[in-house]
Structure 1
Amino acid sequence: MTEPDLGDVAATLRVSLGLLRRSLRAATTDGALPLPELTALVRIDRLGAMTSADLARIEQISPQSMGATVRALQDRGFLARTADPADGRRVVLSLTDAGRTAVEAERAVRNRHLTRAVEAALSPAEIATLAAAVPLLQRIAEEL
């Protein structure tokens, strides 16, 4: 058996993961958050409390755009603002209970969407192969 061409494998993986990502983004809850708002909540959930400027830098958008996103999330009651204990002039953003619930609801919808697709498309043996491949995909992601 010949070795697969690594470039072909990488290209096919990139296209497949892009399609998967777009499909999962399309799966939303009934009270769906706009993508910039959801992304901001997920970042704060994963990375912890941070300033709006930090969040803008991580998301690679302007502070003004992030300001609009943060205001919308505050209006929904998803973000709390507190003074930075290290520098009282700065404001730190953190998730409220409602914000955490919103993130968890969006994740649950996407997990169910992906679970249904895996069950519909793959045999039990293929699901076992996919389960064995997940740690490999995680290692690749960590290398990027």
Structure 2
Amino acid sequence: MSAESSVDDLAATLYGAVGLVTRRLRHSPAAGELSLPERSALALLDRQGPATTAALARSEQITPQAVSTTIAGLERRGFVERTPDPDDGRQMIVSLTEAGRQVLQDKRDARIRQLTESLTAGFTPAELATLQTAAPLLERLGQSL
């Protein structure tokens, strides 16, 4: 077996494993459930700060109309607010509110608790140590993509 084949196998295994974990976490119920587009918009605003709907649409690679619909729903729930763009009166700047930040944090906390329970119940101390060693490498892999 060649080194390249071994790396290809590792890539395929990681892709499947990370995808499975992500899907399971996304599809398990959580209080104050947000849709995937809503979670994505809130997370983007949390990471990158206030933005226009056009900028959000470009970042998410979706239509401005789809972003506007998502933002309108988030605004009705008090998770985002819109203010006029000081540089272009035709545009609105969308910002995360404290309630939006809190719902995002609650969602993250619920997922972390879910992972903690799975790790505690299903892994030996040696396996947990291996995962502890691998976690920074997985983070670096994600940042390199």
Identity %: 46
**Which residue does the alignment assign to 1:125?**
126
TM-score (norm 1): 0.92
Secondary structure, aligned partner of 1:82: strand
- More divergent stretch after superposition (104-113 vs 79-88): 79-88
**Which residue does the alignment assign to 1:44?**
45
**Which residue does the alignment assign to 2:101?**
100
Q: How many residues align?
A: 143
- More divergent stretch after superposition (116-125 vs 68-77): 116-125
Q: How far does residue 116 in structure 1 lie from its aligned partner after superposition?
A: 1.0
Structure 1: distance between partners of 2:86 and 2:134: 43
Structure 2: distance between partners of 1:132 and 1:140: 14
Secondary structure, aligned partner of 1:83: strand
Structure 2: distance between partners of 1:107 and 1:27: 13
Structure 2: distance between partners of 1:130 and 1:62: 39
Q: Which runs of 5+ in 1 are unaligned?
A: none
Q: How far does residue 29 in structure 1 lie from its aligned partner after superposition?
A: 2.3
Which amino acid in the other structure matches residue 135 of structure 2? Answer: V
Indicate whether 1:17 and 2:18 are aligned: yes
Q: 1:28 to 1:100 in 2, by over 3 A?
A: farther
Secondary structure, aligned partner of 1:89: strand
Q: How far does residue 87 in structure 1 lie from its aligned partner after superposition?
A: 3.2
TM-score (norm 2): 0.91
Greater length-normalized contact order (CA 8 Å, ≥ 6 residues apart) = 1
Structure 2: distance between partners of 1:81 and 1:17: 35
Can you list the C-alpha shifts for 1:8-64, whole angstroms capped at 9, x where unaligned?
111011000000000111234222111111111111011111111111111111111
Secondary structure, aligned partner of 2:90: coil
Q: Which runs of 5+ in 2 are unaligned?
A: none
Alpha-carbon RMSD across the aligned residues, in angstroms, is 1.6
Which amino acid in the other structure matches residue 98 of structure 1? Answer: A
Indicate whether 1:110 and 2:122 are aligned: no
Q: Is the 8 A contact 1:55 1:66 kept in 2?
A: yes
Structure 2: distance between partners of 1:49 and 1:27: 29
Q: How far does residue 85 in structure 1 lie from its aligned partner after superposition?
A: 3.2
